[in-house]
Amino acid sequence: MSKLRVTVNSKLTVVSSRPVTSGKVHTLSVLDRGMASHTLHVIFYYMNEDNWFKSFDLGPLRESLSEVLTMYPVVTGRLVRGENGEWQVKCNDAGVRTTKATVDATLHEWLKSASHSEEKLLFTWDDMPEEDPSTWPPFRIQINSFKEGGVAIVVSCSHMVTDLTFLASFFKSWAELHRHFPITHPSLIASLPTRGHASSSPPTKTASPKDLATATFKFSSSTIKQCLSKVHDSCPNATPFDFLAALFWTRVARVKPPKTQDQTHSLCLCTDSRSLQKPSLPIGYLGNALHFSTLSKKVKDVELGGVVSAVHRHLEELSEEEIGAGNEGKRVYGSELTCVCMEQLMVEEDEESLLYGAVFGRNEEKPVHVSCWVGNVEGEGLIMVMPCSEGGLSRSVMVMLAEEEVAELSKDEAIMELEPAMLLAGCGMDH
């Protein structure tokens, strides 16, 4: 596919429908500031079957976005230095940069044949200027129109301001307000304790290193159910994340040597900590409520059930004290292989994910697929285990690893026997 298939047509800035109270400032936590080098991009694909998306510039979708932004003054603000030299958000209602683009393909063609490098064309991003960031918007939205009506709406932000859970709740709030429904997960704008110290360097370099390749594997609910039953004796309470994290960790370990003489491999587990905080934080908390912890274990040629149990036990034993102190001084998305858990997004009825809860149109259309990107992943790479449109136990696994490792995983016998659908890799997609 040609990279010229996505054409940017216009850019505009959307502000709140009601002015934000001037002078309000949102303080960033130590963990927030530690995310300075990273960005988040969430792509919501819709078939747009009843043509609920027609025109954005003067249409009801822009009106509802302006309305919902009044509830999220941080989203329309700008990053500035505080008196102590640390980053904070000045809530000045400067607006959200919104880009419109067209794609020279139908949505079905795109999902069937586009590569991940081409998918990144669906969102535009420029790094924060080092000298004067006062006009630089930390949140962006891009609306991509496909031939025959499909739409991809992308919400992007600096990871320093918030995390994936908030982005999913914000997008759902937009959809709910657009349909005149009550907001399910209203925002909580508060600052976590700022213990420790994090670098106050400006956010830089958001593109992933060139030597990392990407692939996405989609596993059906029935397949994951069978997999969990096979490891039941070793880990009776295993979650889909426990199994898939263990599976991909062990398969990656087969193609790379251990770093230690005792033959152990390390996996950094990134989990949402909202429910572990005291008091707990709501889904709509605006900020980074994440915990990064490392699990080290001999995993090569080890029974998979034992690795699944180790992952499950490690996450189950996380304490509130560890959550409060464990990230201080730790480099996120750093040298170790990192695996991101999104089980916290399974909060909706009927085992449906928050990622797929944003409904538009008269026919209550849900996304057919959602992609999530973290910018500037370094070191050994990233594995993201996320819910699927099918709901239930279905999950997709997006890997960002060295090219030779992705090539090995794409033909790995233990993974391929589970018959995953390969998304955005020229291998088709089930609708």
Helices (H) and strands (E) in the chain, counts: 11, 16
Put simply, whether the predicted model's pTM sits higher than 0.95 gets the answer: no
- Express the helix, strand and coil content of the chain in percent, nearest 5 each: 25, 25, 50
pLDDT at res. 102: 93
pLDDT at res. 199: 45
d(CA 282, CA 345): 12
Residues of the chain where predicted confidence (pLDDT) is lower than 70: 1-4, 55-58, 191-211, 258, 260-261, 319-331, 347-351, 425-431
pLDDT at res. 40: 96
Strand order in the sheet with 87-90: 25-27, 87-90, 78-81
Contact residues for 89 (Cβ-Cβ < 8 A; gap 6+) = 25, 26, 28, 74, 77, 78, 79, 80, 138, 161
CA distance to 29, 40, 79, 89, 330, per residue, from 199 (Å): 11, 19, 15, 16, 11
* Residue 78: its H or E element: strand 78-81
Strand 369-374 and strand 39-46: pairing? antiparallel
d(CA 16, CA 14): 7
User: Topology of 3-178 in CATH?
Assistant: Chloramphenicol Acetyltransferase (3.30.559)
pLDDT at res. 241: 97
Q: What is the pLDDT of residues 9-57, one digit of tens each?
A: 999 999 999 887 777 899 999 889 989 889 999 999 999 887 777 766 6
Q: What is the pLDDT of residues 129-175, one digit of tens each?
A: 877 788 899 999 999 999 988 999 999 999 999 999 999 999 999 99
Pick the CATH number of 212-348+376-423 from 3.30.559.10, 3.40.50.720, 3.40.50.300, 3.40.50.1820: 3.30.559.10
Q: Count Cβ atoms within 10 A of the Cβ of residue 326 and give its class: 0-12 exposed, 13-18 middle, 19 or more buried.
A: middle
Query: How many residues are present in the chain?
Result: 431
Task: Judge if 3-178 and 212-348+376-423 fold alike in CATH terms.
Answer: yes
d(CA 300, CA 177): 50
Cβ(79)–Cβ(138) under 8 Å?
yes
- Domain layout of the chain by residue ranges: 3-178, 212-348+376-423
